[in-house]
Amino acid sequence: MNELDSLKFSNRFAELPEDLFHKQNWTPFDKPKLIHFNADLAKQLGFPKNLNPEDLVPYVNGNKSFKNSSPLAMAYAGHQFGSWVPQLGDGRGILLGQLQTKDGLMDLHIKGAGKTPYSRFGDGRAVLRSTIREYLCGEAMHYLNIPSSRSLIMIGSDEPVFRETTEFGAMMVRVAKTHVRFGHFEYFSHNNKAEFIPILLDHVIENYFPMLKDSQDSYTDLFEMIVNSTAKLIAKWQAFGFAHGVMNTDNMSILGETFDFGPFGFLDEYDPGFICNHSDHGGRYAFNNQPSIGLWICHALAAALKDHIEIEETKSIINGYEQVFYDELTALFRKKLGLEKNDADDLKLVEELLSWMQKNKMDYTYFSPEEYCPVLGLQHKEEGEREKGIAILRDLVENESNKDAMYVLGLLYNDASSINLCSIDDFCLGQNFSNYKEAKKIFTQLYQNYNDPRAAYALAEYYDCLLYTSPSPRD
């Protein structure tokens, strides 16, 4: 028996009414080639220990099928840059199915799968450049403890794909807890299909929030959990300097995971108005707008669910978003600064620090690592040392001449950032595509370094200079 046949696939979404999706296979490449296999993630998903990644390629490419999988393209809609778009959906993706793991149900989704009924004017393909970027960002987010989708495997091809320039087509298997988005509920609410909303709500509760099945008001309780997880996710983005770039309602997971990576970016110097998406001319999704956009999309979800959730309680939940966000953000900054005890002035301290960092164009990432915060005396347990450390920090905030001291926190990160990625731009642009051995070597080296959390910080810091090729709005 093929060892891959032992995987216990299902597709619970395929059991729902067909108004929610379109069942189909995907379009294979003529000559698929393995780019990279994430052995660590494969282990977590329960793939055979001695699996040869080459054996997985025909399954990813669509030449073979997993037993009990039921591939489909999901239907949804959403607000894109604040404007309502009534029909979106998986325009280049196929939900392959789910695997039950020790961490719960996990979706496997093919990205770059070719055309679906929701492709509109697109070609349904992904390019190698954006696929590599998504893989790297998903891994960095994971090891920074930011909830995120990850990539199991990437395959490439010689198939030309036309963006700003001619690139090469690629597919990857994206792994996430769910691909149900805020936009799913909007699709039904605004397209006269409201009868499907409770069906999808029940599906979400059954598969992801079974503790709510006995609740007296499970839908409102579910809404609260979605709002809170969204607030906490965005607090993590802000703490680590991550800019998503396209926080449309169709790009936001109802389980508070980061996914749908497009023209994302990480802060270098602290610039709260940083815009990573060159098509975001108005700055709607600028870094400092992300928390308020998170609240906006929660309002959009509440509007879609208005006939199924208790209105007064919903208002209270929405009003609590800001407190959940700031509680999480403050807790993360306490770790960054080595503050061991909660203090009512901690958030004010953070605000003063950020103002100083913006004024002096300080590096945001190099100020992150908590293990070096004892330099400022903030992590000492002796009586009075915490207060002394805060005084030192306030002096740094107020005295520009001390700004160089802030870089002490990042000095030991220089070695971690020297990962050999000299050839990565060639692979992203397809200029050296045949050199797969070198590509594998680079990814292996990256993966080994991820086990050191310092490398994850350093990688976040150096994304722009190592991986930057201006992403297409369609990627």
| Catalytic residue numbers, as ranges | 250
Element housing 220 (H / E) = helix 218-240
Element housing 101 (H / E) = strand 93-101
What are the helix (H) ranges across 241-282? Answer: none
Beta bridge partners of 105: 100
Burial of 406 (0-12, 13-18, 19+ CB in 10 A): buried
Those residues whose C-beta lies under 8 Å from the C-beta of residue 323, and which sit 6 or more positions away, are none
HEC string of 424-445 equals HHHHHHCCCCCCHHHHHHHHHH
Q: Which residue has the tokens 């280049």?
A: 92
Cα-Cα-Cα-Cα torsion 406, 412, 414, 419, nearest 10 degrees, comes to -140
- Of 387, 365, 369, which is closest to residue 378 (Cα–Cα)? 387
The type of residue at 135 is Y
**Alpha-carbon span 195 to 12, nearest angstrom:** 19
Inter-residue contact 37 to 439 (CB < 8 Å): no
**Alpha-carbon span 72 to 63, nearest angstrom:** 16
Those residues whose C-beta lies under 8 Å from the C-beta of residue 388, and which sit 6 or more positions away, are 377, 380
Inter-residue contact 127 to 158 (CB < 8 Å): no
For 341-386, the DSSP string reads S--TTHHHHHHHHHHHHHHTT-BSGGG--GGGGGGGT-S--STTHH
Tell me the CA distances in angstroms from 452 to 48, 99, 144, one per residue in order: 26, 28, 10
Q: What is the phi/psi pair of residue 364, to 5°?
A: -75, -40
How many residues comprise the chain?
475
Inter-residue contact 296 to 187 (CB < 8 Å): no
Beta bridge partners of 166: 162
Those residues whose C-beta lies under 8 Å from the C-beta of residue 451, and which sit 6 or more positions away, are none
